Amino acid sequence: MSGDLPEAERRLAAARSFLFVPGDRPERFAKAAGSGAGLVIVDLEDAVAPGDKERARRSAADWPGLGARTVVRVNAPGTPWFDADLAMAAGRGCPVMLPKAEDPAVVAAVAGRVPLIVLVETALGVERAFDVCSVHGVVRAALGNVDLAAQLGVAHDDLTALAYARSRLVTASAAAGIAPPVDGVTTAVRDLAALTRDTDHARRTGFAAKLCIHPFQVGPASDAFVPTETELRWARSVVGAGDSVTTVDGHMIDRPVLERARGMLARAGS
C-alpha cells in the first residue's frame, strides 16, 4: 500500500516512532527533530494549557521545520481552537493527528484537507474503529491509551485491561487496508524495562510503531519494531523455499505464511 502513496503519506505509514513536543515550547522543536524519531508531533492539544493555545499555534506556524516531515496534533473538533489549528497545518502542508477520532463524518471532513492519523482514545472510537479507519484519506491510526483508560476506569499501563482496544485497532486497520497502527505512550519516561515490556507487547499484538514522550524513548521504540536477525533468517528460508506448499524447520509453509515472510523482509529493507 505505502508504495502507492505520496511522500508525506509514505512517511506517516512507515514511521516506527513518533515523538511529541509541546507546541508552546518552541525551544525544544529542533531537539525533537534531531532525536531520530520517524516523525515529530507538535502537540497543540493535551500538552498546552488553554491560555497558551494561540501562542502555541503561532510558535508551530513560525517554526521553519514544520511541514511534511512533522505532524501537528490539533485540538479536538468542537473546541474553540480546532478550526484555526487545522487551517494552520493545512496551510503548511503538514499531516495532522486528530484526537478523539470517533465520528467518521468529522474524520472525512479533515481527511479531505491533510494527510491524517486518527487518534482513537474513546470507547466509542474503539467500537467504531473500522468505520474511522476506512475513511478515505486516513493513513494510519494510533491508540490514545491514557485518555481511553481514564474513560474506562482502568490503569493506562494495564496491558490486559486494554487488550480488546489494541486488538480492535489492529484488526480495523488491516480490514481498512491502511498501515498497522501506532501504540500509545509509556508514561514512565526513563524506565527502559517498562518501555521494552510495552513495545514487545505492542509488536506481538500487531502494532508497528510507538508514540514517545521523551527523546530517551525514541531509539529503543524504533528498534523494537524492526524484525530481529532470527526472524529475518526464518523469513529468508521461507521465501527461499519457493511458492509451493512445503515445510521449513518442520512447519508447514503455505501462501499466508509466505506473505508474512515477504512482508517482514520488506519492512527490514531486505
Annotated binding site for substrate: 73, 121
β-bridge partners, 120: 143
Query: Which residue ranges are tagged as binding site for Mg(2+)?
Result: 121, 147
Query: Which residue ranges are tagged as binding site?
Result: 73, 121, 147
Q: How far apart, in whole angstroms, are the C-alpha atoms of residue 183 and residue 174?
A: 15
- Is the CB of residue 111 less than 8 Å from the CB of residue 9? no
